[in-house]
Structure 1
Amino acid sequence: MRRPASLLPVLAATALLLTACGTEHTGPASAGSGAAERPTRTQVDDPGEDGVRITSLTLPSVSPSPTRSTSVSAGGIPADSGVLATYEVTNNGTERLTYSVVFTFLGSDGGAVINQSTTVRDVGPGKTVRGTVRAGELPPDAPRVTQAKVLEVTTVPAGEAPAEPGTCPASGIRISADKGDAAMGLRVVGLRLDNCGKRDYTVGGYPLLELLDDDLDPVDGIEILDGSGDITTGAGPDEPPRPITLEPGESATSGLVWRNTTEAGTAVNVPHVRVRAKAGADPVTVSPHLDLGTTGKLGVEPWAKAER
């Protein structure tokens, strides 16, 4: 009877083939190879600000060139610089908070290269939440990013934070504030009320406001005026308040108007405004950072239906 051939030569050949193929290890790219080097991740010893700190910074080994920073991927999306920071948010308070954080990415000279913002929602007392923020696409002439830090932290009660874009609160009403407009000392911040629910919603008159400081305590000594006529006539005559019914999908707008004139006395800054669409409505706390100067006045425009 014929005995089967030995498997040793086959196994030896297979082992030799696998050894020749090997496992690819990432190492320094050879000169002129065009291969990208691995990014470097550096631990950051940062005390942070108001419970937010950066823990590490990841940088590409070679600074993106102007050509690369303005290129786009195959999908038409701007190329990412590869720069990112890892952060952690720790709530040292006694209530659930939502954090709005501005991070700044800096060059070797300490100058800001680009700022990025993120919102960390519903952080419970004593809890820590971790995440990453990307620098994104950099300007073509941007210097190499070498560091990052926390630039600004704003906190509001989690239950009063403006709804995340694209979501609808249980109330069916979404309130938000824009970034504002400033010209010759006149300031205007727009308020927007969206009926994102399934029922009609009626408002009449002016939004109800509470001015709050950094600790979310009331700011006293500011007169809240109906209309903007006592602040400026440049916006035209005040429209009289009237009831407005918003069908699902419709919106209304209002505005906060003031001057930041500073004369005798102490200038007043109001970081937060607690807004109610009408009496009895759920409050929403926005953070427009009102620099009211020493004027002591804030004008509020009535709700008006927004054009579709």
Structure 2
Amino acid sequence: MTADSLPGAGGAVGPCVVQYDVTNPGAEPFTYTITFSLMDEQGRAMSNVEETVASVGAGKTVRRTLEHGGYPGGGVLDAGRVRILDVERVPSDEAPAPASSCPASGLRLTADQGDAAMGLRVVGLHLENCGSRTYSLEGYPVLQLLDAEHQPVDGIEILRGTDGIPMAGGDEGPPRPVTLRPGESAVSGLAWRNTTEFGEAVTVPYVRVRAEAGADPVTVAPHLDLGTTGELGVRPWRKDETGAGRGTGDSGSGRPGAQGPYGMPSSS
């Protein structure tokens, strides 16, 4: 990161602007999500800021200015008080669509920020009909687990339902047909236990999700800390009757969110 001074009145040095560069060393465009921590003078974390840099071309570098929205406590923002907590990247053509746009399919698929308690992890998947026609589906999301280099992760059993995940609760029966009119949403979810016993613990940073077989893929970043369980439960799609299940484009980083259907966290 570099810091550039902005000119102030009468030529005096003005406030500091923090800029950062994103370089894509890959062979295809990637969309990056960076989480920054803003520190006070004593080095204490005051707040976190998440920024998305869309469609960085292969081999390209882009520069952005950190949109901090005002530093806590009226202090001054400078590069020495900014830390990078996390960087996520997904292929640009598989990045979750932001709330301000609608994919050509008319369906916006996102993951919420998730929740964790007593070793149980849950992340909600949200499918919003943002198009102009009615859409119907039945069954489970189709998942592919990916490592940090977006290569398939083997050796994990994906369970249909979460009855086999301790403390995850039931699934209210088998899948049922779901019909989404424009503006309506469906909700599913992932559940797993962060249990580590004998063997090597497995972490899955990315999941490629299709609403159903043949649908366009969307890659989300729920950071599945599966431990040594070797299992991941996925719930069937259900109509979101709460009005709170609409996705926000969040990558799913495991921070607590509001509770939605199934007792799954959701975004408002």
Instruction: Report how far residue 176 of structure 1 moved.
Output: 0.3
Unaligned runs of 5+ residues in structure 2 are 9-14, 244-268
- Residue 216 of structure 1 is aligned with which of 138, 141, 150? 150
1:136 aligns with 2:83: no
- Residue 248 of structure 1 is aligned with which of 178, 182, 193? 182
Instruction: Report how far residue 58 of structure 1 moved.
Output: 5.7
Is contact 1:262-1:293 (8 Å) kept?
Answer: yes
* Cα distance in 1 between the residues matched to 2:84 and 2:64: 13
Instruction: Report how far residue 150 of structure 1 moved.
Output: 2.3
Pairwise CA RMSD: 2.3
Check 1:238–1:83 CA distance in 2 against 1; reply closer, same or farther (3 A cut): farther
Higher relative contact order, structure no. (Cα contacts within 8 Å, ≥ 6 residues apart) = 2
Q: Deviations over 1:232-262 (max 9, x none)?
A: 3552454310121211111100010000011
Identity %: 56
Instruction: Report how far residue 134 of structure 1 moved.
Output: 3.2
- Larger strand fraction of residues: 2
- Residue 56 of structure 2 is aligned with which of 97, 101, 123? 123
Alignment: residue pair count: 235
Which amino acid is 2:217 matched to?
P
Instruction: Report how far residue 187 of structure 1 moved.
Output: 0.7
1:239 aligns with 2:173: yes
Is contact 2:188-2:236 (8 Å) kept?
Answer: yes
Instruction: Report how far residue 221 of structure 1 moved.
Output: 0.6
TM (norm. structure 2) is: 0.81
Instruction: Report how far residue 282 of structure 1 moved.
Output: 0.2
1:107 aligns with 2:54: no
Q: How does 1:35-54 map to 2 (within 5 A)?
A: 54=1
Residue 128 of structure 2: aligned partner: 194
1:163 aligns with 2:97: yes
Residue 179 of structure 1: aligned partner: 113
Is contact 1:186-1:259 (8 Å) kept?
Answer: yes
Which amino acid is 2:188 matched to?
S
Which amino acid is 1:94 matched to?
A
Q: How does 1:18-97 map to 2 (within 5 A)?
A: 54-56=1-3, 84-97=17-30
Instruction: Report how far residue 130 of structure 1 moved.
Output: 1.3
* Cα distance in 1 between the residues matched to 2:91 and 2:74: 40
3-state secondary structure, aligned to 1:159 = helix
1:207 aligns with 2:154: no
Which amino acid is 2:95 matched to?
A
Which amino acid is 2:52 matched to?
T
Q: Deviations over 1:128-158 (max 9, x none)?
A: 2111113334444989864223221111000
Is contact 1:113-1:142 (8 Å) kept?
Answer: no
Check 1:147–1:58 CA distance in 2 against 1; reply closer, same or farther (3 A cut): farther
Unaligned runs of 5+ residues in structure 1 are 1-53, 62-81
Which amino acid is 1:55 matched to?
T
Which amino acid is 1:157 matched to?
P
Is contact 1:86-1:133 (8 Å) kept?
Answer: yes
* Cα distance in 2 between the residues matched to 1:294 and 1:142: 45
Larger radius of gyration: 1
- Residue 280 of structure 1 is aligned with which of 199, 214, 230? 214
Q: How does 1:283-298 map to 2 (within 5 A)?
A: 283-298=217-232
